[in-house]
A and B are shown apart, each in its own frame.
Chain A
């Protein structure tokens, strides 16, 4: 099966600092990667779609200047939470379909990153 890694798995930071989360597809190429966020007792919510070589598209209500996404290669997307605040504390997880996959094919998930902003 396809493997997606995510780093770091845990991060604790002070309010006002920036945090970068990496999502890598280890054994397949992904032109698209998705970033989700999950707050306690809620479902995974799509934040943005990361597109290799072009700008990310953000869901309504997600600030693009706060959550910077870079998809510089076919195997790596990064999410940077800039000037993090306690309300950004959440579980962040990425997923990717294989390059060229149809809408009906599965996505492969990373293990997620738990962010705690003090």
Chain B
């Protein structure tokens, strides 16, 4: 059983604060690391797919980094807004299109 861990499991920040959270995953048989944003009652929405060690990706105020050798990825949100409130999932892809998900980090941005 592959272990994908996310921390923290929940987080409350004030509007305007920057924040980050972590996803750790197996460092062997790496194909891709996915980040999803999941708002309540909606479909998880893909944020990033990261494949290369040292990858950095950015989408607006959200960015992510990847270290495949040590098995971790960070997601950063700069200047958090209430609309950023969601659960952020990471998923490790180790082959055969199967992905193993972390439990998610639930972010609440307080206005």
Contact = CB atoms under 8 A, between A and B. Distances in A.
Contact of A46 (B32, B36, B98): B98
Interface string B27-51: 0000110101000011110100101
Given A42-B103, A43-B104, A111 B43 contact: yes
Interface in B61-111: 89, 93, 95-104
A43 B51 contact: no
B4 interface: yes
Interface string A69-111: 0000000000000000000000001010100010111111111
B4 A103 contact: no
A4 interface: yes
B43 A106 contact: no
Contacts of B41: 111
A107 to B, nearest CB: 7
A44 interface: yes
A57 to B, nearest CB: 10
Nearest to A114: B41
Nearest to A94: B43
Contacts of B89: 44
Interface residues of B, number: 24
A106 B49 contact: yes
Contacts of A44: 89, 101
A43 B93 contact: no
Interface in B5-42: 31-32, 34, 36, 41-42
Contact of A32 (B49, B95, B97): B97
Contacts of B104: 43
Among B34, B46, B95, chain A packs the most CB atoms within 10 A around the CB of B46
A107 B46 CA distance: 8
Q: Which 7 A-B pairs have the closest CB atoms?
A: A106-B46, A44-B101, A104-B32, A43-B103, A109-B43, A109-B44, A103-B31
